[in-house]
A and B are shown apart, each in its own frame.
Chain A
């Protein structure tokens, strides 16, 4: 970039409105850090930081709403020399991320109090990570995508290892860090190769370049594409890049697992859709088969490996691999229908994953280590409402009608069949049967009498207020998405049409 004449580098004009949602989240994180270092011993300090975090999310949501109004009226645009796109797609994904973050924060409040981990760092890290995710949703340049990826990942590495007393949490953090940094490096290499082949890192410019030129020797670009897919495939936890998922999901503090499953997936899929369906549309012939393979592998590995698990958190972790497969079915269609289906799926999954992990958090009780299937025995008799809610979230994940999970599956299969991918739809449906078996095992355990093999000993299961609120929100949302999905489906469709190019 440095020319011989050493011209001063021109600063692009910064459109603050375009990144206002990210700034709001980050500002809340700063306020919490500063506030907590100044006021240490006030009795209400935890509540205050919680409220600050929620306020940050709310303000961020407000800005996202304003952006949506703007995009709806004047159309999508790009800001900060094409680094950031303000479009319907970003608005949709950012709404999902904010919703998932809100639920995760609510869930964490009770968890932190229960575990005695009420340092300020937790919420700060979560908000930072969410900032990275928000940026990832709107990033329109591979460099920005990489920056966002690092912001969100580094915070998550620490969050995964946050429960210092539990060895598995430490292990999860280290594992996630090592594999994550490796995948980031692969992703970065992919960016470099893509830049070498197309002369730009800007997604819009790449798309224009590829539309206007036919590369005679496109080996470099194809390898670059493959590396990008590997890097993002790691983040969305698609097989065969899913090896970290069960260990990290199991070891991380359960609210962090919920956050990872819901929000990280949404952000990473936003990047997948922007990069592949958006920028590399001209190369769809090359990447669609690769995504097909990833989708099928994720579906099979995720659902089959979950069958043999006895740890509920691990089951849900493997199933989250399978759910990545369903989203990839939508990606693979490479159509507007597919993109909006993938968006709807990501949104629904965020709700049902957070809901399920919320119940897991509560059932785990102090110590966060009661995750085996045996711990769920007889839950329906002792805590019927909790068992009912978990049943709802699990049935939703299995794709039972009248829950959002059914509509989500319907829309991705819809897109697949529309794109002529009958076999993919069928594999997806059959994987759903295996998935149903896994979920029903958990349900059966809950409804089994506890005295079959001796009731598990342990402290009483208690649901604190903020977790209760999070559970109610998630339950209402999953039924809403299943019974009157029109509003969100239309939002996803409009969001896809309002992509900035």
Chain B
């Protein structure tokens, strides 16, 4: 490590019990418990699901309070490491930092909401089991600091999601589930070989033993792997994560999977699972190979910009309401990648914030669309007209979610996209010029959809649509409330992003020829106001 970069030393857990391990194991134990409940008692299974996921959410809140926010606390906190498979050098290593903290919290928040939204679902037992396993695996992905443990969860996530889509989806669900599984698995084939290769390059260096420890590999690979090797390995990692994000042109599984998945599946898929891809870039691809990331950033920026504009244009053309939201995810994730590969503090922070914000707003939109489907069993826009008159509360919430999603100032989407665009403007000006059209296009496709479905005179079927119920309100309102809160007051989140993001960007600058122009040249006030600069 270079002198001006604070060495990233993991801070071991000082709590009396392994909180992070518990975050992974409690949902898994809940799944096991639900499996033991007889089929005839779906209400017991549901109770197990609610209690477990609520407990996990409470634990994630506790994690939030335990998370140190000092400016120097850029490393992994609550670090724990135990031997797992000694022969292969694999250790059960978990840790949390500014990047993963909110991803864990988002997962823990969306799970009980997803379960509550599926309160009337058939085959409640297996549904709950898969959902809880999914939660365990996703939290594991974000907490794992051993590359193989990460990969184990990264792959395992596919299994519950596959069954959720194939078992409770609609439309062409089996095709969608299969496509989802195979696309992601193909990507992870490259990722897996990449992980093994880095570990063996590390192990061959004198005095080293085989390890998959992420901090160790990061320190070593960023300083010692360069040139073509680094580029190839970066590409291997990028292939795995690009499918997951998904970046154009690897995105074709997404509209199918999102559209045909059950509501809770779509919420989790869009809310959390897509972020595994961008998280992977931030945790592995960029810190492992900073120079390769800088060299190849233009490729990813181009793909991101294509994703933003293409996603938005295709979304505008869709006749299916759920597909519009699915394609909007392609565009939103494009902003995340744009900010991330700007490799500036503002850009990465904006990308992370968009990840969080997209989880809240798209989660809310999928929930609302799911409610419409529950009532009318169709997603086709042509079936809906004048809904506002029939279901005013629902309509209000839908419009609020739409505004949140298109990034209206005051909602979280604005903060994230603004920061991402600002950060990208520092290093990659022309990409931003194109990408900004995506902000406008987002307003076009979402507002157009709202106009078609909610305005005008309702016909008989629309007039008879019942309005939103209490249970449904409970699922949507927290997401929109949080989005509004973070849009008005993003500081609690930004403060926790900041040390890690700064360390990451400094790490990249130290190991590459990237030079970010100082922000002060661009007028400091705007940036100061967002709390990015200290």
Contact = CB atoms under 8 A, between A and B. Distances in A.
Interface string B178-209: 10011001101110110011001001000000
Contact of B87 (A395, A433, A447, A489): A489
Interface string B78-116: 000000111110000000000000000000000000000
Contacts of B188: 429
B192 A429 contact: yes
A436 interface: yes
Contacts of A440: 162, 178, 181-182
Contact of A432 (B84, B158, B185, B196): B185
> For this complex, into which size category does the number of interface residues on chain B fall?
20 to 34
Interface in A458-473: none
Given A425-B193, A425-B196, A437-B178, A406 B86 contact: no
A432 B155 contact: no
A401 B151 contact: yes
Most buried by B among A401, A425, A433, A493: A401
Given A414-B88, A437-B178, A486-B87, A400 B193 contact: no
Contact of B185 (A426, A433, A444, A447): A433
B159 interface: yes
Contacts of B85: 407, 485-486, 489
A430 interface: yes
A413 interface: yes
Contacts of B185: 432-433, 436
Interface string A471-487: 00000000000000110
A417 interface: yes
A297 interface: no
Nearest to B183: A433
Most buried by B among A437, A440, A489: A440
B77 to A, nearest CB: 26
For chain B, what secondary structure do more than half of its interface residues adopt (helix, strand, loop), or is it mixed? helix
B398 interface: no
A402 interface: yes
Interface residues of A, number: 30
Contacts of A422: 193, 197
A418 interface: yes
Contact of A406 (B152, B162, B166, B197): B152
A448 interface: yes
A321 B181 CA distance: 23
Contact of B181 (A418, A426, A436, A486): A436
Nearest to A402: B156
A437 B86 contact: no
B182 A417 contact: no
Contacts of B159: 395, 400
A115 interface: no
A492 B530 CA distance: 57
Interface in A417-449: 417-418, 422, 425-426, 429-430, 432-433, 436-437, 440, 444, 447-448
B155 A401 contact: yes
Contacts of B86: 486, 490
A448 B166 CA distance: 9
A436 B155 contact: no
Contact of B178 (A411, A444, A493): A444
A444 B166 contact: yes
A376 to B, nearest CB: 14
A305 interface: no
A490 B88 CA distance: 10
A195 to B, nearest CB: 38
B166 A447 contact: yes
Contacts of B192: 413, 425, 429
A417 B152 contact: no
A493 B87 CA distance: 8
A411 B88 contact: yes
Nearest to A401: B152
A148 to B, nearest CB: 30
Interface string A313-335: 00000000000000000000000
Nearest to B236: A426
Interface in A384-416: 395, 400-402, 406-407, 410-411, 413-414
B126 to A, nearest CB: 8
B127 interface: no
Nearest to B35: A388
A444 B177 CA distance: 10
Given A433-B182, A437-B182, A448-B174, A402 B189 contact: no
B418 interface: no
Nearest to A413: B196
A418 B203 CA distance: 9
Contacts of B193: 413, 417, 422, 425-426, 429
A395 B133 CA distance: 15
Interface string B226-247: 0000000000000000000000
A382 to B, nearest CB: 13
Contacts of A485: 85
A400 B155 contact: yes
A485 to B, nearest CB: 6
B167 interface: yes
Given A400-B155, A485-B85, A426 B178 contact: no
A161 B178 CA distance: 38
B335 interface: no
A7 B69 CA distance: 90
Contact of A417 (B177, B190, B197): B197
Interface string B147-182: 010011101101100110011000000100110011
A485 B86 CA distance: 10
Contacts of B166: 444, 447
Given A400-B155, A430-B186, A436-B181, A489 B88 contact: yes
B167 A447 contact: yes
B148 A410 contact: yes
A444 B162 CA distance: 10
Contacts of B158: 400
Contacts of A401: 151-153, 155-156
Contacts of A414: 88, 196
B64 to A, nearest CB: 28
Given A400-B155, A407-B85, A486-B86, 16 more contacts: A402-B156, A406-B152, A411-B88, A417-B193, A417-B196, A417-B200, A425-B196, A429-B192, A430-B186, A430-B189, A433-B185, A440-B162, A444-B177, A447-B163, A486-B85, A486-B87
Closest CB pairs A-B (n = 9): A429-B189, A401-B152, A417-B196, A489-B87, A401-B156, A433-B185, A401-B155, A425-B193, A433-B186
30 contacts: A401-B153, A401-B155, A402-B156, A406-B152, A406-B155, A410-B148, A413-B192, A413-B196, A414-B88, A414-B196, A418-B200, A422-B193, A426-B190, A429-B188, A429-B189, A430-B189, A433-B182, A433-B189, A436-B181, A436-B182, A436-B185, A437-B182, A440-B182, A447-B163, A447-B166, A448-B174, A486-B86, A489-B88, A490-B87, A493-B87
Interface of B: 84-88, 148, 151-153, 155-156, 158-159, 162-163, 166-167, 174, 177-178, 181-182, 185-186, 188-190, 192-193, 196-197, 200, 203
